[in-house]
Amino acid sequence: MKLKHILTICLLALGLAAARGQEVKANIPGKSEQPAASVAKATTYTEPQLLEELGWYIGKRAQLSELELSKEEVDSVLKGIGLAASGKDSPFDLEKIGPAMDEFMQKKQATYMNKLKTKNATTNADFFKKLKENKNVVELPSGLRYEIVKPGAGPFPKDDQTVRVHYTGTLLDGSVFDSSVQRGEPAEFGLKEVIPGWTEGIQKVNKGGKIKLYVPPQLAYGDDGRPGIPPGSTLIFEVELLEIKAPGAAAAPAAKK
Distance between CA atoms of 130 and 121, rounded to whole angstroms? 14
42-90 pLDDT, tens digit per residue, is 789 999 999 999 989 988 888 888 888 889 999 999 999 999 989 999 9
Q: Let me know: does 245 contact 162? Beta carbons within 8 Å.
A: yes
Distance between CA atoms of 175 and 208, rounded to whole angstroms? 26
Residue among 149, 117, 122, 119 at smallest CA distance from 214: 149
Please report which confidence band the pLDDT of residue 249 belongs to, taking 50, 70 and 90 as the band edges: low
**Whether the predicted pLDDT of 212 surpasses 90:** yes
Backbone phi and psi for residue 176, each to the nearest 5 degrees, phi listed first: -85, 125
Provide the residue ranges of all domains of the chain, joining segments of one domain with +: 4-26+45-130, 138-245
Q: What is the average per-residue pLDDT within 100-104?
A: 93
**Whether the predicted pLDDT of 140 surpasses 60:** yes
Helices and strands in the chain: count of H runs, count of E runs: 7, 7
Q: What is the average per-residue pLDDT within 232-242?
A: 96
Q: Note the pLDDT of residue 39.
A: 52
**CATH architecture of residue range(s) 138-245:** Roll (3.10)
Q: Which residue has the higher pLDDT, 102 or 227?
A: 102
pTM as predicted: 0.67
Q: Let me know: does 198 contact 188? Beta carbons within 8 Å.
A: no
Q: What is the separation of C-alpha 149 from the centre of its chain, rounded to a whole number of angstroms? A: 25
Name the amino acid, one letter, at 34. Answer: Q
What amino acid positions are annotated as catalytic residues?
167, 177-178, 195, 221, 237
Q: Note the pLDDT of residue 91.
A: 93
Distance between CA atoms of 145 and 249, rounded to whole angstroms? 29
Burial label, 71 (beta-carbon count in 10 A; 0-12, 13-18, 19+): exposed
Q: Note the pLDDT of residue 248.
A: 56
Q: Which residues contact 22 (CB under 8 A, 6 or more apart)?
A: none
